[in-house]
Amino acid sequence: MITGAAYRAAEAIRSDPTLAASIVQRFTPAFLSTVAAASTQLLKFAAELAPVCSAVLGQLTEVAERLEPVLSESRAAEYEKYLIEIGYDPAQARFLGNLAITLGGPLSKDVTECRRSFGGAMREIAQANGALAISCRAALLLPELHQWGKVWIENGLREARHPLSYDEFHALVEQATGKGCAACKFTRRQ
């Protein structure tokens, strides 16, 4: 259905025969030929694109069919309820709750491994005697800071009400690593 300015223009053309005739005169045979060629090319393109769109729509239908049972039941009811309370849409909360359950296992293993490495490196730094030992142990801590360690450092500094930021802490660890890094590598080889 035509609405707005297009509707008013169509009404004006229908009501004034001279206006309609002058518009038709502007459509020269060359113009009409160009429009016909363009529409033929457009139809050919649509025909070539139809199988691709059909295949993609088929795949999307399969994904939707697999998602429907997953999203139809809550696998994390309490978490879903919490997400709704803090402002998430119920559908988003259901998706995020189910995603947390799905990814929780593999991520928890990763977090546990990182937590152990991080804790071990922090304990070794605290027990280190001398600049070389601190440098070697800081080198072990540095990779952990790029994983989950960042969150733990940020939380620890905030809870301790320490003015040091995560970036400043990271810079200190890098600085400690830089002082004796070459010596650490040498002593590890021996």
Digit-coded pLDDT (tens) for 8-51:
877 777 787 777 677 767 767 777 678 778 888 888 888 888 88
**Neighbour count for residue 9 (Cβ, 10 Å):** 12
Does 181 fall in a domain? yes
For the chain, first and last CA: distance in Å? 84
CA distances from 154 to 65, 80, 118, 168 (A): 42, 27, 14, 11
State if pTM tops 0.85.
Answer: no
Number of domains in the chain: 2
Does 85 fall in a domain? no
Does 102 fall in a domain? no
For 101, the token pair is: 């359950």
Digit-coded pLDDT (tens) for 60-107:
888 777 766 666 777 788 888 898 999 998 888 888 888 888 888 777
**Neighbour count for residue 152 (Cβ, 10 Å):** 19
Domain range for 22 is 1-44
